[in-house]
Every structure is written in structure tokens, then in C-alpha cells.
Chain A
């Protein structure tokens, strides 16, 4: 596909994909819709810039990432991240006390997940992942998605959200622990 053949119809085919991407990052359907709308409009205006080196989907995702960062900046201006120990309803040290024995061993040793590659091909797995992400505290999810979905590094995230690297690592650890636990229970552990 080259730039000349990109019209509103070709772009519309990617709307659902872009909307899911925006929604899991922003957790705000209206803002996600705005970001996607802006993305499709910008793509149409700048279609001459589409070199055909990447797929249209990859190109659109790149534009969407910029729009999402704009939205995240707006969100973080309106609601700065509270990094006090009690923020997000979890205390600093007591985060995962239930998962570990007092001597630091796992309460339940993690069991190997069966056929994780197959999960990636299963539509319902992605829904389970979305549900697990929705269950994360808001700021924890925001930082985690900036890191893992958008592929930003810790330095960029700290700068955008005005938090320290240490805060960032704490939130990422919480997110990973919670998501692992949730996927273990709700996807890989189901029999």
C-alpha cells in the first residue's frame, strides 16, 4: 500500500485496534476516543508521509502514541500522581505480604504456565488481560502501560509524570506482581 491509496476507509479498518490500545493506556473511553479521532485525522492529513516501509497499522500506532502522550500530560497536570506510601490504597512495605511467608518464601510457589504461546492467539486471553489491567490501581496501570505497551523507558516516564525512578520501579513491581497473580488465577490456573 502506498500513500495515494490511503483514504478514510483504509484508516477506519484500524479504528477498533487503535481504540483498544488507547483505552487500556488511558482507562477513559472519551479520551481514548479523542486520541483515536485525532490520530486518524492526522494520518489523513499527513498520508504523504507514509513511506510504506512499515505497515499502515504500525504507522498509525506510532501516531497514536504521540496523541496518547499528549493525553497523559493533560491527565497528569489535572491529577498529579500521589507517591505517598498510602497512595493507591497499598502501604509501601505491606504490598504483597499475603503472597510471601514471613521468611520471604512464596506462600504458593509459582507453577509453570501451560502453553503461553497459545494464549497469545486466543482472543479471550486478551480480554482476560484487559480485565486484569482494569483491576490495577489507576496510577500503577498508567505507569505500567507507558512502560510495556508504549515501550517508554523509566527516564521518559519519570519526566512525563514528575516522579522519581524509585517510585516508578515500585509501581512497575506492583503492576507485574498483580498482573501475574491475576493471570495465574483467571487464565492459566483455570481448569
Chain B
């Protein structure tokens, strides 16, 4: 079972490279069981989406 710490690293790397099959399965299993890491994943996705819109509509 992956630890939350390992999951946080894999979720960041998932934005950079294709994860291996064992990595993907380990991640899915962990996320099913762990609300904290599921929240973390949504937050990373939000940060990515936010930067794409930077600096908002402040023009």
C-alpha cells in the first residue's frame, strides 16, 4: 500500500509523465480509501487550472 507521502509525489509526477501500470493501480486503490489524498488531488488540479487563467480578468 502506498503511503500518503508517496501518493502526493505520484500525483505531482502524473502531471509530468505517464505513470506505470502498478503506479496507476496503487494510486487508484489509495485514492478510493483516502479522502485526504483525494482532496489533495483536486487541489493540485485546481492550482494547475488557476495558473492557466492567471492573472484572472484583472485587465
A-side interface residues toward B, CB under 8 Å?
A: 13-14, 16-17, 20-21, 24, 57, 96, 100, 103-106, 109-113, 116, 119-121, 123, 125-126, 129-130, 145, 148-149, 151, 154, 165, 168-169, 172-173, 176-177, 179-180, 183-184
| Chain A: minimal CB distance from B47 (Å) | 6
Please report whether the interface of chain B is mostly helix, strand, loop or mixed according to DSSP. Answer: helix
Q: A113-B46, A169-B12, A180-B47 are in contact. Are A104 and B5 (CB under 8 A)?
A: yes
A-B contact pairs, 29 of them (CB 8 A): A17-B58, A20-B54, A100-B3, A104-B5, A105-B5, A106-B4, A110-B36, A111-B39, A112-B42, A113-B42, A116-B46, A121-B57, A126-B55, A129-B54, A148-B47, A149-B52, A151-B52, A154-B16, A165-B16, A169-B12, A169-B13, A169-B16, A172-B12, A173-B9, A176-B44, A177-B12, A180-B40, A183-B43, A184-B43
In the assembled complex, how far is the CB of residue A69 from the closest CB belonging to chain B, in whole angstroms? Answer: 17
Binding site for A on B (CB under 8 A): 3-6, 8-9, 12-13, 15-17, 35-37, 39-40, 42-44, 46-59
For residue B46, which residues in chain A have a CB less than 8 angstroms away from its CB?
113, 116
Contact check, A105 vs B3: say whether CB atoms are below 8 A apart. yes
Interface of A is mostly: helix
Contact B55 A180 (CB under 8 A): no
A20 x B55 contact (CB < 8 A) = yes
